[in-house]
Amino acid sequence: MKLRIGILASHGGSNMQAIIDACKENKINGSVCVVICNNSRAGAVDKAEKAGIPVYHLSGKNYPGGNDLDEAVLLVLKKHKVNIVALAGYMKKLGPGVLKEYKNRILNIHPALLPKHGGKGMYGIKVHEAVIEAGDKESGATVHLVNENYDEGGILSQVVVPVLKNDTPGALADRILVEEHRLYPITLEKISKDDIKLP
Ligand code: GRF
């Protein structure tokens, strides 16, 4: 299927950039149609603008009431005819409207080998600290479907990254991020070519 990708980002946007590049290089059959960011100062905003992709700043600050943010996000995704949503460092939980409309069509990337080291509060450097503290010999990244619970949706793809002797959380994070930039676009490419079938 031709993917019309909507990206939700909060941070640097390096995974988002990797997906944009893979679309431009025609590796993914599709394009990034819209970027939604809940942080107006995120690097992702600049990157999306440079790529000429419409970017919206939607956050709990502009939409403080009940399901207002959920409805605003859904409206933007539908306006741009998005058929698959990719979370790339997005730190907010999605609302019921988006989860229902895009059931099994929302992907996330997590910087560890789920189901290990996931769940509420497990993000950023905390994930890598937990891996090293547990004495794991391997970590990596996981692309998975998103449901109402953090990091619990079906796993679509994983890449393994060895944990080195005397590794630091920062060094491990850097090596995993390089692999994330490969894994996320490849997973979307496989979905677009029907090599990975979504439920
Ligand atoms: C990545 O490590 C990703 O696994 C996690 O958040 C980070 C986002 O980085 N969900 P970036 O914004 O893509 O650079």
Tell me what the pLDDT averaged over the chain comes to: 95
The Cα diameter of the chain in Å comes to 49
Best-predicted range by mean pLDDT (36-50, 75-89, 145-159)? 75-89
Nearest-atom number in ligand 1 for the CA of 10 is 12
The answer, yes or no, to whether any atom of ligand 1 lies below 6 A from the CB of 88, is yes
Q: What percent of the chain has pLDDT over 70?
A: 100
Distance of CA 111 to the CA centre of its chain: 10
Measured from the CB, is residue 39 less than 6 Å from ligand 1? no
**Half-sphere exposure for 61 (CA within 13 Å, toward CB):** 5
Query: How many angstroms separate the CA atoms of 85 and 122, rounded?
Result: 21
- Enter the pTM of the model: 0.95
Measured in Å, residue 81 CA sits from the centre of ligand 1 at 25
12 lines ligand 1 (CB under 6 A): yes
**Ligand 1 centre from 99 Cα, in Å?**
21
Active site residues: 110
Cβ–ligand 1 distance for 106 under 6 Å, the answer no
Mutate to test the pocket of ligand 1, among 36, 46, 109, 127 (most ligand atoms within 8 A of CB): 109
Write down the residue that tokens 């990254």 correspond to: 161
The mean per-residue pLDDT over the stretch 7-22 comes to 96
Q: How confident is the model at residue 40 (pLDDT cuts 50, 70, 90)?
A: confident
